[in-house]
Amino acid sequence: MKVTGFSHITINVRNLQTSLDFYHGILGMTLRHRGRTDAYLEWGSAWVCLVERMDAGEHADGFAGMDHVAFYIAENDFNDAVGILKQSNVHIVRGPIQRGVGWSVNFLDPDGIQLELHTSTLDERMKIWR
Domain regions of the chain by residue span:
7-55, 66-130
Q: Contacts for 32-41 with beta carbons within 8 Å, 24 or more apart?
A: none
DSSP state, 17? H
- Is 7-55's fold the same as 66-130's? yes
What pTM does this model have? 0.73
Note the pLDDT tens digit of each residue in 99-130. 778 898 999 999 998 888 888 876 777 677 65
Residue 63 pLDDT = 40
Assigned CATH for 7-55: 3.10.180.10
Q: What is the pLDDT of the chain when averaged over all its residues?
A: 83
Note the pLDDT tens digit of each residue in 68-84. 888 888 889 999 999 99
Q: Selecting from 3.40.50.1110, 3.40.50.970, 3.40.50.150, 3.10.180.10, what CATH number does the domain 66-130 have?
A: 3.10.180.10
Buried b (16+ CB within 10 A) or exposed e, 55-64: ebeebeeeee
User: Do residues 81 and 73 touch, judged by C-beta distance below 8 A?
Assistant: yes
* Residues taking part in catalysis: 116
